[in-house]
């Protein structure tokens, strides 16, 4: 006799509760009462003949068996969702959803996306920008570009860039008073900061030994690094740049490096993240291969 399928409504309720770690939130998503969700969970546990959750005061967590089952169920449900989307969507329109930081998107990714769309016109990249942490169990995303050490749990991590820091400025600042021949002269210039990266100037000044001679906090601050880079192009001061993100400006000469000293932040850099708990779509594979090749070329040019 073939194994019977578990009660599918109960499995759906189980997946929602496990993803939210909340019966109430799962009930809101499923548009049923919390009591109905609880009954579905009990039904599934009776079918499995073992507990899938540990109940606490206002808290519900997966047991080891529940965690193992959720990982399998989440993959299957995502495959079902993907198959349904692909069937309902017009065949000529395929989408992948990617989240990045504003600066990374504007400085590096967006200028290159035109070439991807030219080569793969049927794949639509839906790009969003956010500083929020990524949770592939919760967020409707195929990939994300994040800054870190490459140790995100439950993610496939692909390094994109070196994380080299160096000051950059408009060429005119090199020849205009008060001059910019040595790092100590930075004390006579406006330092441009990103609120998203408040410690970069201090890191570089400390590394080259002039932290006491230049105030690492002085100058002007902007919401993002891309705004600081734009201010530097406009001659408003000297920005601390991630060189990977200003490769185009340095190549075209709108920005220059006044000093040779570079600080390498090592493995703490940009990564492409994809969820480890579900299979990668064919379109996402195409985008990943393209993105990693673009990153490799940029590192080579830099």
Return the pLDDT at 302.
59
HSE-CB at 32 with a 13 A cutoff on CA atoms is 16
Return the pLDDT at 257.
97
Residue 275 lies in a domain: yes
Residue 256 lies in a domain: yes
Q: How far apart are CA 131 and CA 43, in angstroms?
A: 40
Q: What is the CATH number of the domain that holds 103?
A: 3.40.190.10
Residue 1 lies in a domain: no
Shared domain for 178 and 40, answered yes or no, is no
Shared domain for 145 and 275, answered yes or no, is yes
Shared domain for 186 and 255, answered yes or no, is yes
Shared domain for 141 and 282, answered yes or no, is yes
Shared domain for 172 and 241, answered yes or no, is yes
Q: How far apart are CA 134 and CA 144, in angstroms?
A: 7
Shared domain for 274 and 133, answered yes or no, is yes
Contact between residue 257 and residue 210 where contact means Cβ atoms under 8 Å apart: no
Q: What is the CATH number of the domain that holds 63?
A: 1.10.10.10
Shared domain for 48 and 193, answered yes or no, is no
Residue 12 lies in a domain: yes
* DSSP codes, 232-263: HHTTS-EEEEEGGGGHHHHHHTSSB-S----E
Q: What is the DSSP letter of 215?
A: -
Residue 192 lies in a domain: yes
Residue 243 lies in a domain: yes
Residue 2's pLDDT band (boundaries 50, 70, 90)? low
Shared domain for 249 and 294, answered yes or no, is no
Structure tokens at 275: 């969820």
Return the pLDDT at 1.
39
Shared domain for 244 and 287, answered yes or no, is no
* DSSP codes, 58-127: TEEEE-HHHHHHHHHHHHHHHHHHHHHHHHHS-TT-EEEEEEE-HHHIIIIIHHHHHHHHHH-TTEEEEE
Shared domain for 288 and 258, answered yes or no, is no
Q: How far apart are CA 74 and CA 277, in angstroms?
A: 7
Indicate whether 187 pLDDT > 70.
Answer: yes
Residue 3 lies in a domain: no
In the chain, the percentage of residues whose pLDDT exceeds 70 is: 97
User: Could you tell me the residue range of the domain that residue 39 belongs to?
Assistant: 8-87
**How many domains would you assign to the chain?**
3
At 64-103, the pLDDT tens digits run 999 999 999 988 988 888 888 777 765 556 899 999 999 9
* DSSP codes, 127-145: EEE--SPP-TTTS--SEEE
Output the CA–CA distances (angstroms, integers) from residue 246 to 98, 104, 220, 300, in the order listed. 22, 10, 19, 14
Shared domain for 196 and 227, answered yes or no, is yes
Q: How far apart are CA 240 and CA 165, in angstroms?
A: 7
């Amino acid at each position: 006799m073939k194994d019977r399928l578990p009660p599918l409504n109960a499995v759906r309720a189980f997946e929602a509760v496990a993803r939210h770690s909340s019966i109430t939130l799962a009930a809101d998503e499923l548009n049923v009462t919390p009591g109905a969700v609880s009954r579905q969970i009990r039904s599934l546990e009776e079918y499995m003949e073992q507990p899938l959750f540990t109940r606490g005061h206002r808290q519900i967590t997966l047991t080891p068996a529940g965690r193992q089952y959720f990982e399998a169920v989440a993959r299957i449900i995502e495959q079902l969702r993907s198959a349904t989307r692909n069937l309902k969507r017009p065949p000529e329109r395929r989408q992948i959803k990617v989240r990045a930081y504003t600066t990374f998107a504007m400085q590096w990714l967006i200028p290159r996306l035109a070439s991807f769309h030219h080569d793969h016109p049927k794949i639509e990249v839906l790009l969003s920008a956010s500083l929020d942490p990524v949770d592939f169990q919760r967020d409707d995303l195929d990939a994300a570009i994040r800054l870190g050490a490459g140790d995100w749990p439950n993610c496939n991590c692909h390094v994109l860039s070196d994380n080299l820091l160096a000051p950059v400025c408009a060429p005119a600042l090199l020849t205009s008073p008060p001059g910019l021949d040595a790092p100590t002269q930075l004390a006579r210039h406006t330092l441009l900061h990103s609120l998203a990266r408040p410690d970069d100037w201090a890191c570089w000044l400390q590394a080259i030994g002039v932290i006491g001679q230049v105030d690492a906090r002085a100058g002007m601050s902007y919401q993002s690094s891309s705004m600081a880079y734009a201010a530097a192009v406009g001659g408003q001061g000297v920005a601390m740049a991630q060189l990977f993100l200003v490769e185009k400006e340095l190549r075209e000469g709108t920005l220059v490096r006044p000093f040779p000293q570079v600080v390498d932040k090592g493995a703490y850099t940009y990564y492409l993240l994809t969820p480890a708990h579900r299979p990668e779509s064919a379109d996402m594979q195409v985008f990943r291969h393209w993105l990693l090749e673009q990153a490799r070329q940029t590192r080579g040019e830099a």
